[in-house]
Structure 1
Amino acid sequence: MIIAGAKYFGWPMDQLDVVTAFLYGLMKEKVFCSVPEGVELDDGFDCVELLKAIYGLKQASRVWNETFDEYVRSIGFRVSCYEPCLYIKVVDGECVLLLVYVDDVLVTGSSAEMIAEVKHQLKSRFEMTDSGKCSFILGIETANPLKVRSTSA
């Protein structure tokens, strides 16, 4: 629906990908991990406490989502009450929408300037690759060279 709405209103859609997203999350619970063979620890310890999430950890996805959610809320977004992966920011009648799927972020809205500002804020907190104008995301082609307002799957 977000993509269809953005196409209908002629809003720009940009795509971002968070590099090594799961490594940003700070652990809020105690988790211990054994170390790889050959790694020597002081005082004969055979495990370490994880302070940050790592890939392969069951909690990594949730911890990453909590980290992203906390930051996005801190820069003025609110979560849609209908869709937890949709963030909305409205300023002076203009809006920006963030649609999040794990570490992929679709940014769209009524103001190109607000979109650029939000992208700058996100990139200042997380290392991200910026694919620019979104033409294909999650199996949906969004490019439309004929300038017709449509999507296809």
Structure 2
Amino acid sequence: MDVKTPFLNGELEEKVYMKQPEEFPCSDGEQLVFKLKKSIYGLKQASRQWYLKFYNVNSLFGFEENVMDQCIYLKVSESKVCFLVLYVDDILLATKDKGLLHEVKQFISKNFDMKDMGEASYVIDIKIHIRDILCLSQETYVNKVLERFRIKDCSPSVSPIMKGDRFNLNQCPKNDLEREQMKNIPYASTVGSMMYA
């Protein structure tokens, strides 16, 4: 599911004033300010206030937040289990019980302006296959990383480093030309991107 304009749902905990837009006509030329009642896009605290609003609403329906990852929620009702994953304004629901799925969708839609996107096939570059079991694939993400770093046609290997290989200072660039050439090899970014997968 997709939340429409999520940051407009946040409730402000402090007083926030906004300058009057220049296009807003004022008959006497006086400069006015607006006191915001709710969060708007562009506020530093907008995403935090959206998260708090979402947390409070879901708690009312019996969802419990995961201690390790605060954007994953779990609802257990008798023998029925439902997982809810929030990624900014996208919600992924996972349950075996279609009745519970319908209840959750109804509840969320009553509280937020939502769009039901149907059954998920991709989430954050992760492909979802549902057969007898749930299968997740990051092939699309890995291919994007390989293309970005221009190593798509490299030879695959279990490990790019052989057991016993040692690194030393003699392998470092020794002059300005070698240092300049090393800038074209984003080793740390490549490794970090692959470790993310």
Q: TM-score, normalised by structure 1?
A: 0.82
Which string of whole-angstrom CA distances, capped at 9 and with x for unpartnered residues, describes residues 73-121 of structure 1? 0111111122111111101121111011111100012312101100010
Distance 1:147 1:83, change over 3 A: same
Q: Where do 1:24-39 residues align within 5 Å?
A: 24-39=9-24
The aligned counterpart of 2:113 is 127
Distance 1:42 1:76, change over 3 A: farther
Distance 1:41 1:59, change over 3 A: farther
Question: Aligned equivalents of 1:102 and 1:26: distance in 2?
Answer: 16
Question: Aligned equivalents of 1:100 and 1:74: distance in 2?
Answer: 16
Unaligned runs of 5+ in 2: 139-197
Q: Is 1:152 aligned with 2:137?
A: yes
The aligned counterpart of 1:105 is 91
- Contact map agreement 1:33 1:47 (CA 8 A) in 2: yes
Structure 1 residue identity aligned to 2:81 = C
Unaligned runs of 5+ in 1: 1-15
Q: Is 1:86 aligned with 2:72?
A: yes
Deviation of residue 143 (structure 1)? 3.4
Deviation of residue 149 (structure 1)? 4.6
Moved more, 26-35 or 39-48: 39-48
Distance 1:36 1:90, change over 3 A: same
Distance 1:124 1:99, change over 3 A: same
Higher relative contact order, structure no. (Cα contacts within 8 Å, ≥ 6 residues apart): 1
Which string of whole-angstrom CA distances, capped at 9 and with x for unpartnered residues, describes residues 44-90 of structure 1? 35211111111111111011111111000011111112211111110
Q: Is 1:51 aligned with 2:48?
A: no
- Contact map agreement 2:20 2:31 (CA 8 A) in 1: no
Structure 1 residue identity aligned to 2:127 = E
The aligned counterpart of 2:141 is none
Aligned-residue Cα RMSD (Å) equals 1.9
Q: How many residues align?
A: 137
Question: Aligned equivalents of 1:42 and 1:104: distance in 2?
Answer: 43
Q: Is 1:60 aligned with 2:46?
A: yes
Say which structure is richer in strand. 1
Question: Aligned equivalents of 1:92 and 1:129: distance in 2?
Answer: 28
State the structure with more CA Rg: 2
Q: TM-score, normalised by structure 2?
A: 0.64
Question: Aligned equivalents of 1:45 and 1:93: distance in 2?
Answer: 60
Taking every aligned residue pair, what percent have the same amino acid on both sides?
34
Provide the secondary structure at the position in 2 that maps to 1:143. Answer: strand
Provide the secondary structure at the position in 1 that maps to 2:75. Answer: strand
The aligned counterpart of 2:168 is none
Question: Aligned equivalents of 2:115 and 2:127: distance in 1?
Answer: 19
Structure 2 residue identity aligned to 1:79 = E
Structure 2 residue identity aligned to 1:107 = L
